[in-house]
Amino acid sequence: MVCTANDLQQWNDFPKGLRVLLLDGDTTSASQIRSNLEAVDYIVTEFCNETEALSAFSSNPESFHVAIIEVNANNGHRGFQFLETAKELPIIMTSNIHCLSTMMKCIALGAVEFLLKPVSEDKLRNIWQHVVHKAFNAGGSPISETLKPVKVSVVSMLQPKQENEEQNCKISIETENVIRVHENDQEQSAGSDKYPAPSTPQIKQGSRLLNHGDCQYQINCMSEKVSGEHDSESKSIETMFCNPIDERNLHTREPHHMPRKTVIKEENDSGDGSKSEVNMSHHPDNIDSGNDNGGAAENLSKASVPNTSCKSNRKKMKVDWTSELHKKFVKAVEQLGVDQAIPSRILDLMKTEGLTRHNVASHLQKYRMHKRHILPKDEDQRLLWPHHPPGARDPTHQTSYYPRSHRPIMAFPPYHYNNTTLSMPPAYPMWGSQPPAGSHPATVQMWGQPGYPHSHWQLSDQSWQYWNPYPGMQAEAWGCPVMPPEQGGYSSYPQNASGFRSAGGHVVENGHRYSMPRKSFNIHLSEEVVDKVMKEAISKPWLPLPLGLKPPSTEGVLAELTRQGICNIPQINGSHTQG
C-alpha cells in the first residue's frame, strides 16, 4: 500500500487513488463511508480499532493522505491520540454525537474538520481538498512526504490551465469546482495546520458572492504576475471562481446578430496578487422597446449591478455599453438637454443600479466625442469650421471625427472652386452602404474613398449604429455635405439628435449660446469665408473637406492641370490618368 515516489509523480487523475485511513467503530457507518469513498476511487484502509490504526499509521505514515477518525463516548481520548500522533495528515473527525466541546477540542488538536454522521457523499468526495490544503499549508513544518506529490500534482494541474485562461478560461474550468488555494496561508499560519480547508467546495462561497439576482455570470480569468514574496511553488496558483454558465454567455461581446446582453465584467481580486475577472451577464428585458424607457430601465438596473456582496471583489468593473444601455443613456441626455446633461444627472435619470458616475462620465465623453466630432488637435477643429465659432458645428452631422490615425491620407490637388461647386451635391452614404448605383458618373472619383480607413464605428452594428441619428446613413462622406437624404440642409434636428440642441433652436455648449440657422444650408457664404475655406482646404489637403464642399472630379482635376500646362501625371494606384 505504499506509494512510491514514482507512482505519485504521475498522479494525473488526482484525487482518484487518494489513500484514506478510516477508523470507525461503527461498522454500519464505516461501510457506508467506505463505499462512498470507493465510489470515487479512493483507496480505503479501514480500521475498527484505534490501536491498529495507530500502529498502521506509525509503521508506515506515508501510506495515507488523509484520515477519517470517529470519536464516540468510548474512544474519545483515543481519537485524540490519533490526532496528536498523525500531525502531518489531515484528519477528519466524525461522530454521531453532537457535542460542541468535543468538536472544538478536535479542531483545536488539529483536526481539519468535524463531520457529524451520517457523512454525506459530497463531503466524503471532497476530502481531497483537505489533502491539497495540507499539502500547500504545512504550517512551517516540513511537508509530509505523502503530500508532496499532491502538491506537485495540483500545481501541474493548475499551471497549464492558467495559460489557457488568459485567453479563454471560461470553458475549460466550467465543469470544475472552484479551486482555491490560499497562497498567504503560510504567512498566516504561525502555528501548524490550524487552517482546515472548508468543508464544502468553495463554489458555494463563489456563488453566494456572485450569483445574485437574475444575473448569470461568467468567468474570465486573467492571470497576473504574482508578487514575488510567495513561496515559489505557490506562485502560479490563481484564485478562481467560476460558475457553470450557459455557453451563449461566454462571449463578452456577442456577435452582432445575437441579442445583446448587458455585461458587466468584474475583476475579482483575491488579494494575493492573483485575480480573475468575472463577467456578469443578463438578458436585457425588452430589447428596443422604442423610446419608452419605462420598463427597460428598471430591469436593466436590476441585473447590471454588482451588489454589495461583491464588495470583496474590489477593483474595477468594466461596463459594457450595450445598445440598450446606451439608449437609456441617450434618453437621459435628451431629457436633460445639453446644458444639463452631466454625469450625475444622467446617472440619476438612467436609474441603472451599479452604474457609477464615472461610468457615465466616461461614456459621456465618448458620446460627446462622436457627437461633436472632436478632432484630436485643436488646429484641426479650427480649420474645419472657420465660419462657425468652435462648438457651434452642426450637432446632427457626424461629419468629421478623425482620430489622428483615421484622417484621410489621400490628398487632393489644388482646385479652383467657383460658386457653383458649392451648391449641394447629392448626399449619400459614402461607405457602409454603397451610393445608389449610377448616382454619380463612374468618372467621378470619390476622393478618399478607396482605402479610407474606417473603424467599426462605421461598419458594425455593435456600437456605432446607435450613435447615428440617421440610421442607414453614414455621415463621414469626405467632402460631401451630409444630411438626411430626404431633407438636405441641417435645418432638421431629429429628436434623437441627442441633446445638443437646446429648446430654442440654439446650441448651447461650453456655456455659450449660438444662433443656428434654421433654414436650408447656407450657400451664400461671403467671398471672404469661401476664400478662407478654400485656402485651408488646399493647404491642408489631408483634412476632411468642410461642409458643403466635395472633392473635385477626376476630370476637373485633369482639366485644371492641363490648363496649367501639366499634362503628365504619374499614375497612382491604378487610378486613371488621361493625357
Residue 373, interface with DNA (CB under 7 A)?
A: no
Distance between CA 11 and CA 460 in Å, rounded? Answer: 49
- Tell me whether residue 256 or residue 535 sits nearer to DNA (CB atom): 256
DSSP state at residue 434 = P
Q: Nearer to DNA by C-beta: 507 or 549?
A: 507
- Position 334 contacts DNA (CB under 7 A): no
Strands 262-269 and 275-282: antiparallel
Residue 320 in the binding site for DNA (CB under 7 A): yes
The whole-angstrom separation of Cα 168 and Cα 513 is 51
Q: Which is nearer to DNA, 65 or 265 (CB)?
A: 265
Quick one: 208 or 456, whose CB is closer to DNA? Answer: 456
User: CA 368, CA 60: separation in Å to the nearest integer?
Assistant: 73
Choices 176-184, 353-361, 541-549, 554-562 (CB under 7 A): range interacting with DNA? 353-361
Q: Which span sits near DNA by CB under 7 A: 291-299, 315-323, 443-451, 489-497?
A: 315-323
* Vertex 535: Cα angle to 529 and 538 (nearest 5): 135
> Segment 446-505, which members bind DNA (CB under 7 A)?
453-457, 462-464
Q: Which of 116, 158, 171, 222 binds DNA (CB under 7 A)?
A: 222
Q: Minimum Å distance from CB 321 to DNA? A: 4
Does 321 bind DNA (CB under 7 A)? Our answer is yes
Residue 267 CB, shortest distance to DNA, in Å, is 7
Q: What binding mask, one character per residue, do residues 260-299 give for DNA by CB under 7 A, x or -? A: -----x-----------x----------------------
Residue among 180, 86, 93 at smallest CA distance from 132: 180
DSSP letters for 306-371: --GGGTTS-S-EEE---HHHHHHHHHHHHHH-GGG--HHHHHHHHT-TT--HHHHHHHHHHHHHHH
**Whose Cβ is closer to DNA: residue 133's or residue 370's?**
370
Task: Find the part of the chain contacting DNA (CB under 7 A) among 2-10, 172-180, 305-313, 343-351.
Answer: 343-351
SS (H, E, C) 57-72: HHHCHHHCCEEEEECC
Q: Should residue 250 be labelled a site residue for DNA when binding is judged by CB under 7 A? A: no
Q: Of the ranges 59-67, 283-291, 316-324, 517-525, which one interacts with DNA (CB under 7 A)?
A: 316-324
| Pick 283 or 345: Cβ nearer DNA | 345
Measured from the CB of residue 221, what is the shortest distance to DNA in angstroms?
A: 10
Q: Which is closer to DNA, CB of 256 or CB of 416?
A: 256
Cβ-based neighbour number of residue 93 at 10 Å: 26
Residue 244 neighbours by CB under 8 Å, 6+ apart: 174, 175
Please state, in angstroms and rounded to a whole number, the distance separating the CA atoms of residues 385 and 30. 87
Among 319, 349, 383, 410, binds DNA (CB under 7 A): 319
Helix/strand/coil percentages in the chain, nearest 5: 35, 10, 55
Axis-axis angle for helices 50-59, 76-85 (nearest 10): 10
Task: Compute the CA torsion angle 309, 315, 318, 324 (nearest 10 deg).
Answer: 30
| Interactions with DNA, residue window 376-435 (CB under 7 A) | 403, 405-406
> Using CB under 7 A as the criterion, which residues of the chain lie in contact with DNA when the complex forms?
220, 222, 252-253, 265, 277, 315-321, 342-345, 357-359, 361-366, 368, 403, 405-406, 453-457, 462-464, 510
